[in-house]
Amino acid sequence: MMNRKSALELLASKITDEIVVATYSSATDWLGIIDRPLNYFFSGAMGLASSHGLGLALARPERRVIVLDGDGSLLMNLGTLVTIGQVAPRNLTHMVFQNGTYEANGGHPIPNTRVDFEAHARAACIAKTFTASSLEQFADRLDMILHADELVFGCVKIEQGVLGPRSYKDMYKADRRAALRAALGP
């Protein structure tokens, strides 16, 4: 298993003009690593990162959309994989960071910590999938994550992050939303 921040720092070092959709723990870590107009954050929508990412991928087919999801969040809307698999936007990468907990809500364990999210994605007809359990494996998949010309789903096995209060207030400022709109253009 790897540290989420280390994986996100590696991803951030390769990011160019991709839209990054992040939620809860992944969002606070991502914002702390790379604050940029093409970050898309939202509040009070646990489980909907993949749905928001799908909408952005369909609306902006010229840009890669990368979803940074949590395992607890994905479980809240697991059916989204079936819709994503059916639509299969070529510009979408959906990654679930699996640590076996609802980390943002105190680290309570998810109902089944042995769940195989990659198998769920394959069963939903997502052809290009991977699981990375080490930073080296994650690094080996960065080119696919960023440049594949097809839908990609990845399960990134991580250790539990720091528990405790996280501040989301800076994510939802009006000027951050305005910067995203400007970066997306007409």
Q: What is the pLDDT of residue 170?
A: 76
Domain that holds residue 159: 4-184
Helix, strand, or coil (residue 47): coil
The model's pLDDT over 100-132, given as tens digits with 9 standing for 90+, comes to 887 766 667 788 889 999 999 999 999 999 999
| Count of domains observed in the chain | 1
Q: How far apart are CA 114 and CA 98, in angstroms?
A: 10
Q: What is the pLDDT of residue 102?
A: 77
Residue 36 pLDDT more than 70?
yes
Element (H, E) at 50: helix 49-59
Give the CATH number, domain containing residue 43.
Answer: 3.40.50.970
Residue 87 pLDDT more than 80?
yes
On whether the CB atoms of residues 134 and 159 are closer than 8 A, the answer is no
For the chain, the average pLDDT equals: 92
On whether the CB atoms of residues 43 and 168 are closer than 8 A, the answer is yes
Q: How far apart are CA 15 and CA 74, in angstroms?
A: 23
Q: What is the pLDDT of residue 165?
A: 66
Q: How far apart are CA 84 and CA 42, in angstroms?
A: 20
Instruction: Please tell me what DSSP assigns to residue 18.
Output: -
Residue 82 pLDDT more than 90?
yes
Structure tokens at 130: 């991977």
CA angle 132, 142, 144 (to 5 degrees): 95
